[in-house]
């Protein structure tokens, strides 16, 4: 449950050197590591922390903050004064939340701002599915957001750009229809999506800020990423230069590696689920059919799901599959970025399935030898022979000369910066969606039984300290 993440330059303890560290504020502590997804180098617990403020002791260091703890004072530098102020604000809020919780516990009272804000309880969710905030100001509902425009649609609902009324912050609000979820037997997938969004934190994955429900709908409030879908840009440009494709592929490799290390099988890697941030980076989104709990490379699942063009042969065979399917989809996506179409594409889905299973891989001569070699190793039908080790993929000649650590720190300039004017800009989104009226269908009463409503218990979530605000 991360509330904030990013890079800070930290002063060492015994050796006073300054090194860039990936910092994640979660679960009452500030974790720091060498890079996103790597193991913790250290943890600063905040329950006993004192002052957190702009540092006067390190005046020569720009944008430096300090965190007082009983053991020592930690010094960290942000990239700008605004970033430093935001870190100070978020760390202080988490420290104060912990102290409030400790005070409430010692006084025998419940912690309304802590535990109750992050999960439903018997008193926090009525039998109709409409949740009250239980007196907790951190709990949010649909009335807290202004609907601005539609930015996407799917079989389960729609995604809208919204503004939080009290802060003015722009978010993406994904709305799912409960009845459709139940009728299509998608409860497990919906729970998994919420769990994955809630617990994972990585530079190239979208963040969940809030989730809540009404009698007939579920709501995810996520970061609004306004550089457009990779699909939108690929349609516009027909295909990408190899430099641009390499950059996107590299960031996707880091995202997939992190998901797999976290036991998550993505299962829906495609251009529509890859957003471009306003500064040109990849943001992986939509974990609606992702699978949790595959921690071992030998773990398997067998649900037939995904988008036809990107399905691996072992999914079509129906004999169970593992993380290797994501690397087949990655190879398919890479091929599409370089040529304009997936390798086995056909308008006839059954014919496309047959081609995925048996057709020879044809790679245009315009593709470089290095890219060709990687594609041939990713698009091997036998998952045991397929290239699936992230270390091997990162070491492939196609990525020669790439500094993966700098990439993870977002310190390599992207090859393309979307021409957006501000946080509300929608020019890079499909006008088919944005021209639609942003309205929600209203229900007088839900036709979902109380028993069915119980399937959605525990859905409410507020990121600690209000992520991103």
Which residues have a catalytic role annotated? 268
Q: Which residues pair with 274 in a beta bridge?
A: 284
Mention every residue, 6+ apart, whose C-beta is less than 8 A from residue 467: 2, 3, 4, 207, 208, 209
Burial tier of 4 (Cβ tally within 10 Å: 0-12, 13-18, 19+)? buried
Mention every residue, 6+ apart, whose C-beta is less than 8 A from residue 392: none
Element (H, E) at 195: helix 187-199
Rg (CA), the chain: 23
Task: Report the alpha-carbon distance of residue 344 to residue 339 in Å, rounded.
Answer: 12
Task: Report the alpha-carbon distance of residue 24 to residue 293 in Å, rounded.
Answer: 22
Task: Report the alpha-carbon distance of residue 244 to residue 248 in Å, rounded.
Answer: 6
Q: Which residues pair with 125 in a beta bridge?
A: 131
Mention every residue, 6+ apart, whose C-beta is less than 8 A from residue 62: 77
The backbone torsions φ and ψ at residue 352, rounded to the nearest 5 degrees and listed phi first, read -65, -40
Three-state SS at 453: helix
SS3 sequence of 65-127: EEEECCCCEEEEECCCHHHHHHHHHHHHHHHHHHHHHHHHHHCCCCCCCCCCCCCCCCCCECC
């Amino acid at each position: 449950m991360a509330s904030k993440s990013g890079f800070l330059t930290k002063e060492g303890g015994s050796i006073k050197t300054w090194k860039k560290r990936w910092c994640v504020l979660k679960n009452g502590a500030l974790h720091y590591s060498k890079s996103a997804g790597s193991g913790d180098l250290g943890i600063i617990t905040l329950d006993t922390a004192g002052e957190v403020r702009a540092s006067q002791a390190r005046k020569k260091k720009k944008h430096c903050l300090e965190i007082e703890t009983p053991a020592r004072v930690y010094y960290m530098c942000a990239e700008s004064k605004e970033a430093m102020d935001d870190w100070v604000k978020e760390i202080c809020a988490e420290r104060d939340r912990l102290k409030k919780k400790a005070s409430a516990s010692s006084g025998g009272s419940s912690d309304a701002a802590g535990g109750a804000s992050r999960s439903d309880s018997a008193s926090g969710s009525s039998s109709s599915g409409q949740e009250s905030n239980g007196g907790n100001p951190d709990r949010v509902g649909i009335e807290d957001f202004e609907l601005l425009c539609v930015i996407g649609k799917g079989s389960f609902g729609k995604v809208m750009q919204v503004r939080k009324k009290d802060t003015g912050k722009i978010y993406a609000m994904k709305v799912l229809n409960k009845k459709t979820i139940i009728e299509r037997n998608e409860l497990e997938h919906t729970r998994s999506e919420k769990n994955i969004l809630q617990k994972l934190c990585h530079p190239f994955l979208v963040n969940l800020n809030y989730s809540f429900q009404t009698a007939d709908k579920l709501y995810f409030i996520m970061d609004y990423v306004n550089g457009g879908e990779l699909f939108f840009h690929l349609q516009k440009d027909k295909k990408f230069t190899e430099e641009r494709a390499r950059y996107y592929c590299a960031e996707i490799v880091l995202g997939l590696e992190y998901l797999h290390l976290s036991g998550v099988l993505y299962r829906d890697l495609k251009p529509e689920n890859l957003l471009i941030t306003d500064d040109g980076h990849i943001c992986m989104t939509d974990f609606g059919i992702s699978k949790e709990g595959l921690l071992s490379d030998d773990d398997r699942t067998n649900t037939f799901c995904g988008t036809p063009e990107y399905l691996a042969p072992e999914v079509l065979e129906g004999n169970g599959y593992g993380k290797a399917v994501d690397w087949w989809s990655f190879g398919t996506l890479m091929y599409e970025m370089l040529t304009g179409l997936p390798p086995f594409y056909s308008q006839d889905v059954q014919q496309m399935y047959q081609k995925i299973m048996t057709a020879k891989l044809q790679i245009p001569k315009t593709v470089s030898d290095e890219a060709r070699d990687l594609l041939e190793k990713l698009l091997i039908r036998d998952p045991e022979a397929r290239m699936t080790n992230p270390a091997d993929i990162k070491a492939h000649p196609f990525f020669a000369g790439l500094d993966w650590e700098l990439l993870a720190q977002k310190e390599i300039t992207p090859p393309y910066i979307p021409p957006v004017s501000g946080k509300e800009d929608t020019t890079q989104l499909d006008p088919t969606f944005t021209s639609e009226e942003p309205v929600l269908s209203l229900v007088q009463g839900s036709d979902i039984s109380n028993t069915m409503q119980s399937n959605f218990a525990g859905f409410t979530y507020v990121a600690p300290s209000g992520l991103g605000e």
